[in-house]
Structure 1
Amino acid sequence: MLFTETFSEFYEKFKTSLSDGTFAKLTFAKTIGQAELKNIFIRPVLDENELKLELKFRFQQEELFEIHSVDSAFDRLLPFINNPFLSVILFTTEFDLTYKLNKKRAVSVTEQAPTFGNASEVLLEYLNKK
């Protein structure tokens, strides 16, 4: 099952947090079973003064890094929803947003108080140069 529509709405909130300078962290967590891939961490990076995303794939024995544009990262990350990840957490300075699949694979998105008080330094540096 593809979660394109629901994850797309969630990803738009992520993109908004990038543009308004409140983004702190994005994490794929809570895998199904004993998956080799443990987490995916997404953070902004500057590549020739352009804002891009570093995707860090953390496996049991190694870490792999990929750089993507903000838009192309969506297509790279979407297949990992439900295979193997059941939750994605967006941390911003205004709120934490959790995208979660239950056992029946129904999607819920919940908002909580922010965990982080400061936005990504790379993002703030980029926005200050604009």
Structure 2
Amino acid sequence: MPYQDAFVLFLEQVKESVQKGEFAKLTMAKTIGKLELKNIFLRPVASKGDVKVLLKFSYRPRETEDVETEVTLEEAFDVLKEHLKNPFLSVLLFTTTKDVTFKINKKGAGTITENDPTFHYVKEAEK
């Protein structure tokens, strides 16, 4: 399956986990090459009304400070799509019921796998 189609299915699982209150964390990892941008993280943030997440850009050189912003889930999805395959090849969704891994292979196909949960409760990010 083309990675774009698989990623749409993956994002549906993210939305579902948020709606059910099971979303613990999301991590973009495995970059192409050794870039300054090491990871992108999403964590839930307690908010009234819209669902908010803390979007964190983590950088490899210690001198570069990580950048954190509070955004809506849809805004976060736009950032994830923008960095998918350039430079990140995998995205890990951690929920309280399962871990879901999205990967892009060398041929541009996307796969989704599920494993037992790493997190057993949701810890919301502090503002």
TM-score w.r.t. length of structure 1: 0.83
Gaps of 5+ in 2: none
The question of whether the paired residues in 2 share the 8 Å contact of 1:41 and 1:55 is answered with: yes
Alpha-carbon shift at residue 97 of structure 1 (Å): 0.3
Alpha-carbon shift at residue 75 of structure 1 (Å): 1.2
> Is it true that 1:87 corresponds to 2:73 in the alignment?
no
Decide which moves more: 81-90 or 101-110. 101-110
* Bigger share in helix: 1
Quickly say closer, same or farther: Cα 1:36–1:121, change in 2 above 3 A: closer
Alpha-carbon shift at residue 119 of structure 1 (Å): 2.2
Alpha-carbon shift at residue 46 of structure 1 (Å): 3.1
TM-score w.r.t. length of structure 2: 0.85
List, as ranges, runs of 4+ consecutive aligned residues in structure 1 with deviation greater than 4 Å: none
Other-structure match for 2:26: 26
- 1:32-71 aligned at under 5 Å gives the runs 32-47=32-47, 49-50=48-49, 51-60=51-60, 61-71=64-74
Gaps of 5+ in 1: 123-130
Other-structure match for 2:5: 5
The question of whether the paired residues in 2 share the 8 Å contact of 1:23 and 1:120 is answered with: no
Decide which moves more: 69-78 or 32-41. 69-78
Alpha-carbon shift at residue 105 of structure 1 (Å): 2.1
Alpha-carbon shift at residue 90 of structure 1 (Å): 0.3
